[in-house]
Amino acid sequence: MADREEGASVRVEINGDYLEAAPRVTVTPSSTTILVEESNEFSRLTWLRLSIENIMSQILSAVNRTTRGRSTSNYEDLDKTTTNVDENYESHFGEEIEMTSVSVVPDDTYTVAQAVNAFGFGKFQVKLSLFTGLCWMADSMEMTILSILSPALHCDWHISRYQQALTTTIVFLGMMLSSTFWGNLSDRYGRKQALTLCAVLLFYYGVLSSLAPNFLWVLLLRGLVGFAIGCVPQSVTLYAEFLPTKQRAKCVVLLDCFWALGACFEVLLALVVMPTLGWKWLLAFSTIPLFLFACITPWLPESARYHIASDQTEKALTTLEKIALDNGKPMLLGRLVVDDDSSNPSRRGRIKDLLSPELCRTSLLLTVCAFCYYGVVLMTTELFESAESSCTRNQSMGLKPLESCTAECKTLTTQDYIDLLWTTLAEFPGIFATIFIIERFGRKRTMAVQFVIFSVCVCFLFICTDNRIFLTTMLFIARGIIAGVFQASYVYTPEVYPTQLRSVGVGTCSAMARLGAMVTPYVAQVLIQSSLVLATAVYGVFSLLAAVACLMLPIETKGKEMKESMRQQPM
C-alpha cells in the first residue's frame, strides 16, 4: 500500500469507538504499522486510552470464555478503506492471553476412582480399617455366641433340640428379611446413615436380650438383633469404595482378621463369664464393641461415590480433599467428572435392576455362592463338637432315631471352649492364603478352587475314626478354607455392582446367604445326630455346585475399577 495523500481526514474505529485523527497519516506496509501524526495533544491521549481499553477488553474476554483464543484487532474504515493490521498485535499479546487461559482453566478431568487411586493407601484408609474392623468384631461376636447360647438355654430352660436350632434360625431370619432393606436404605440415604442406625439398634436389642425373662422373649429379641445385623455387610461396601484398585482385594480380605479376633474374644469372654455369671451377662458384655462403634459413627466418612451418585459433587470434593490431606498427597487439579446416569436418583437402590440384562446372571449366581457359604461355615463348629460321637453311633447312610427332645443337659467344658478357639484360629491361615492367590488367579477361580478343597475336606469326614487329631486337622483346614471363600466373596460382590446398586446388591446376596444359615442348624444340629454321612454329604454336594457357579460368573473384577453406573464399562 502506498503512502496516502496528505490533507485527507482519517477516521479510525477501535472496539466500536471512532476517533478523528490528525489530517496527516502515513501507512508503511513493510512493518504493518500505523503512524499517526497528531495535530493536538487531546487526540494522542484519546488514542492511547482507547488502545489500552481495547487490549484489556480482549484479555478479559479471552479469560472469561475459558478457551485458548487468539486475539485479532481489526482496524476498519481508514479513509473508507479497510486494512487488516493484526499480525504485530497477535505476536505481542496472543501468547500472554493463551498462557493466562491455560493456567486459569485446566483441561484435566478426573473421576472418584482415579482420585482414590492417585491418593493411594495411607492414614485415611488405616483409620477407616479400624472403624470398619470394629463393626466386624461386633458382628463376629454376635455370630459366635450362637453356638454358646443354645446349650446354655437348654440347661436353664430345658428346651428341646429343635428349639435350640430355632435360636440360631431366628437370628438369620431377621438378617435375611433386613439385608435387602438395609442395602436399599444405604443406596438411597448413604452408607454412613444406615450404619449409624444399625449400630444403635444392635446395641439396644443386644442389651435387652440379656434381660429376656423367658424363651419367647429371647427368640423375639434375638430376631431383632438379627434384623440390625443385616446392615453390617454395608460396612464392607463403604470400606471398598475408599480403597485403591491395587490394594482393594488384600485390604478387604485382611478385614476378616477383625472377624477372627472378635470370635476369639467371644470364646475367651465365655470361658471367663459363663462358669460364674451365666449367659445373660455374656450377652450384655458382648455388646461392648457395638457401643464403641455407635460412639465413633459421627467420625465415619460418607462415601464419595455415594455423593456422586446422589448428585452431591461438592460433598464428594470435600471428602476427596480430606483423603488427600490425611494421606499427605496434593489434591488433583481439574474438574471432577460426574456420570449423568449414576447421579439419577430414580435409579438408586432399585432391586429390579439386579435382574437387568447386565447383572441378572451375576445376581443369581452370587446368590448360589452365598447360599452355600453360611451353610458350611456354621457346620464346622457343630462337626467339631459332635462328629466323633455321631461317627461312633453310625457308619452308614441309614437314619437313626433322634435322641429325646429333652436330652440330658451338658454344659460346655473348658476343653470345649479350647476346641472352639482352635477352629476359630484356623481362619487366619485361610485369610493369608486368600491374600496370596486372589490377585494372582482372580476372584472367580479363587472362590471355585477353595470350594472344591472344602468339599474334599468334608468328604474325609465320612471316614469314621476315633482319632481326634485327624478330625481336628480336617475341620481346621475346612474352617480356614471356607473363611477364605467368605472374604473372597466380599471382595467380589461390591466390585461387580455399580455404585447406584452396590449396597442393595450386597444386601440381596447377604439375604440369600442367611437363607442357607437358617437351614444349617437343622442339618448340623439335628440331622447329624442321625447320620454323619448324610449331613456332611449335603454340604459336600452344595460346595461343588457353588464351585461351578463361581466359574460361571460372567465378570472377572481383578484389576478393574469399580463402576459408577450400569452403562459404564469396567476399566
CATH classification of the domain holding 336: 1.20.1250.20
Whether 364 and 317 share a structural domain: yes
- C-alpha cell at position 438: 486372589
**pLDDT tens by residue, the chain, 571 residues:** 444 444 444 454 444 444 444 444 444 444 333 343 444 444 555 555 666 666 666 665 654 543 333 333 443 443 444 344 344 434 444 443 333 333 233 447 888 888 888 888 999 999 999 999 998 898 888 888 887 888 788 788 887 777 877 888 888 888 888 888 888 888 888 889 999 999 999 999 999 999 998 889 999 999 999 999 888 888 888 898 898 888 888 888 888 889 889 988 998 999 899 888 888 999 999 999 889 998 988 888 988 888 888 888 888 899 999 999 999 998 888 888 765 544 455 555 566 666 666 567 676 666 676 666 666 666 655 555 554 454 444 444 444 454 444 456 667 778 778 877 887 788 888 888 888 888 888 888 998 898 899 888 888 876 655 666 777 778 788 888 888 888 888 788 888 888 777 778 777 777 777 777 777 777 766 676 677 778 778 888 888 888 888 888 877 878 777 776 555 555 5
Q: Residue 564 contacts by C-beta under 8 Å, 6 or more apart in sequence?
A: 111, 112, 113, 305, 308, 309, 339, 342, 498, 499, 500
Task: Give the model's pLDDT for residue 73.
Answer: 40
* Residue range of the domain that includes 63: 11-104
Task: Give the model's pLDDT for residue 564.
Answer: 64
Task: Give the model's pLDDT for residue 128.
Answer: 92
Whether 186 and 62 share a structural domain: no
CA atoms of 347 and 352, how far apart (whole Å): 10
Last residue of a domain, one of 70, 104, 138: 104
- C-alpha cell at position 531: 447320620
Q: Is 6 part of a structural domain of the chain?
A: no
Last residue of a domain, one of 104, 133, 159: 104
CA atoms of 454 and 477, how far apart (whole Å): 8
Task: Give the model's pLDDT for residue 79.
Answer: 41
Q: Is 297 part of a structural domain of the chain?
A: yes
Whether 80 and 121 share a structural domain: no
Q: Give the Å distances, CA to CA, from 398 to 1, 394, 401, 463, 537.
A: 115, 8, 10, 16, 13
Q: Is 562 part of a structural domain of the chain?
A: no
Task: Give the model's pLDDT for residue 25.
Answer: 42
Whether 99 and 121 share a structural domain: no
Whether 79 and 125 share a structural domain: no
Whether 187 and 280 share a structural domain: yes
Task: Give the model's pLDDT for residue 140.
Answer: 86
Whether 69 and 128 share a structural domain: no
Whether 195 and 227 share a structural domain: yes
**DSSP type of residue 35:** E
With b for 16 or more beta-carbon neighbours within 10 A and e for fewer, the 38-50 pattern comes to: eeeeebeebbeeb
The number of domains in the chain is: 2
DSSP strand pairing (335-336 vs 17-20): unpaired
If phi > 0 it is left, if psi is from -120 to 50 it is alpha, else beta; for residue 79 that is left
Task: Give the model's pLDDT for residue 491.
Answer: 84
Whether 170 and 289 share a structural domain: yes
- Of 116, 91, 511, 557, nearest to 323 by C-alpha is 116
CA atoms of 132 and 199, how far apart (whole Å): 12
Whether 98 and 223 share a structural domain: no
Task: Give the model's pLDDT for residue 46.
Answer: 59
Whether 211 and 62 share a structural domain: no
Task: Give the model's pLDDT for residue 464.
Answer: 59
Task: Give the model's pLDDT for residue 339.
Answer: 58
Whether 525 and 481 share a structural domain: yes
Task: Give the model's pLDDT for residue 49.
Answer: 62
Q: Is 571 part of a structural domain of the chain?
A: no
Q: Is 376 part of a structural domain of the chain?
A: yes
Q: Are 46 and 19 in contact (CB under 8 A)?
A: yes
Integer-rounded Cα radius of gyration of the chain: 36
